[in-house]
């Protein structure tokens, strides 16, 4: 489905953020990059690390996380193919959190300098990249709301809505079903719950016929019901841009 050999997934994504010209598209495709493979649970970026490359997912899933002093982990976002996992580091120059692969990942490592040269030279590409970092921020805001004020059922429903929505948008769905390699422990760390309670809550969503979730595969059986359960409104994803 998605091309994993060049940066065309990025062109497609950024085309939705700004009105790119053919030259802009060509310039993005001309970005230098090296391909890099990561096994399951590998660290792609570490907190405190200086940035040399920005990492785009060609294949696989990744997530960002922070560790607390007591060893607790909070997952901050999930990332799917065609997304950068650390775009802000290209501008800030240093990572303030960790990024890990969720399963086997194929990444395109784009040198920070080449990326910054490109966006400095091309204002429309710059706008697209800036919008990308701002949509990231909008998602973080929604996650604050999610873990701060929703109960366990809504939290999980909301998270599943978001992921299904984003997966659908990149064409990763096969008729309402998605590859979904998240463990319940990872869902727990993303929603601020425990794995045990996540399990019970997922059962409740299944029992109500909203989702089907088994071994690496998610199907949304009742979109309307899941949206309502999760109090989901996609405005924050700025899809229409």
Partner DNA sequence: CGTTAATTTGAGACCATTCAATTTCGGTGG
Partner DNA sequence: CCACCGAAATTGAATGGTCTCAAATTAACG
Q: Are 79 and 38 in contact (CB under 8 A)?
A: no
Cβ at position 199, least distance to DNA in Å: 4
| C-beta of 111 vs 181, nearer to DNA | 181
- Bridge partner residues of 179 (DSSP): 217
| C-beta of 74 vs 212, nearer to its own copies | 74
Question: Closest Cα to residue 236, out of 158, 177, 173?
Answer: 158
Helix (H, G, I), strand (E, B) or coil at 28: helix
| Sign (positive or negative) of CA dihedral 100, 104, 110, 111 | positive
The burial of 188, by beta-carbon neighbours within 10 Å (0-12 exposed, 13-18 middle, 19 or more buried), is given as: buried
| C-beta of 31 vs 159, nearer to its own copies | 159
Cβ at position 194, least distance to DNA in Å: 4
Residue 80 to residue 73: CA distance in whole angstroms: 20
Residue 82 interacts, among DNA, its own copies, none and using kind-specific CB cut-offs from 5 to 8 Å, with none
Residue 238 interacts, among DNA, its own copies, none and using kind-specific CB cut-offs from 5 to 8 Å, with its own copies
Question: Closest Cα to residue 64, out of 84, 93, 82?
Answer: 84
The burial of 39, by beta-carbon neighbours within 10 Å (0-12 exposed, 13-18 middle, 19 or more buried), is given as: exposed
Cβ at position 88, least distance to its own copies in Å: 5
Residue ranges in contact with its own copies by CB under 8 A = 47-48, 64, 66, 68-70, 72-74, 76, 88, 91-92, 94, 96-97, 120, 123, 127, 130-131, 133-138, 140-145, 147-150, 191-192, 231, 235-236, 238, 241
| C-beta of 10 vs 102, nearer to DNA | 102
| C-beta of 58 vs 182, nearer to its own copies | 182
Residue ranges in contact with DNA by CB under 7 A = 151-153, 183-185, 192-197, 199-203, 214-216
Residue 2 interacts, among DNA, its own copies, none and using kind-specific CB cut-offs from 5 to 8 Å, with none
Helix (H, G, I), strand (E, B) or coil at 45: strand
| C-beta of 113 vs 183, nearer to DNA | 183
Cβ at position 72, least distance to DNA in Å: 8
The token pair that represents 190 in the structure block: 């993303």
The kind and range of the H/E element at 187 are helix 184-191
Cβ at position 226, least distance to its own copies in Å: 14
Cβ at position 187, least distance to its own copies in Å: 12
């Amino acid at each position: 489905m998605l091309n994993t050999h060049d940066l065309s997934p990025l062109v497609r994504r950024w085309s939705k953020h700004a009105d790119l010209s053919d030259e802009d598209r060509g310039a993005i495709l001309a970005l230098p990059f090296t391909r890099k493979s990561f096994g399951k649970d590998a660290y792609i970026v570490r907190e405190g690390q200086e940035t040399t490359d920005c990492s785009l997912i060609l294949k696989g899933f990744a997530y960002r996380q922070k560790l607390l002093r007591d060893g607790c982990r909070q997952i901050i976002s999930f990332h799917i193919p065609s997304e950068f996992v650390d775009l802000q580091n290209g501008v800030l120059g240093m990572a303030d959190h960790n990024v890990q692969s969720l399963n086997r990942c194929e990444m395109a490592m784009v040198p920070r300098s080449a990326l910054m040269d490109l966006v400095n030279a091309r204002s429309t590409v710059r706008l697209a990249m800036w919008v990308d970092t701002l949509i990231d921020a909008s998602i973080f805001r929604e996650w604050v709301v999610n873990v701060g004020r929703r109960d366990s059922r809504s939290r999980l429903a909301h998270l599943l809505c978001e992921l299904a929505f984003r997966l659908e948008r990149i064409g990763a769905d096969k008729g309402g079903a998605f590859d979904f390699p998240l463990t319940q422990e990872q869902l727990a760390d993303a929603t601020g719950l425990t794995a045990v309670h996540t399990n019970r809550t997922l059962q409740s969503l299944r029992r109500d016929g909203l989702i089907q979730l088994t071994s690496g595969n998610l199907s949304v059986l009742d979109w309307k019901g899941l949206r309502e359960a999760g109090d989901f409104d996609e405005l924050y994803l700025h899809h229409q841009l």
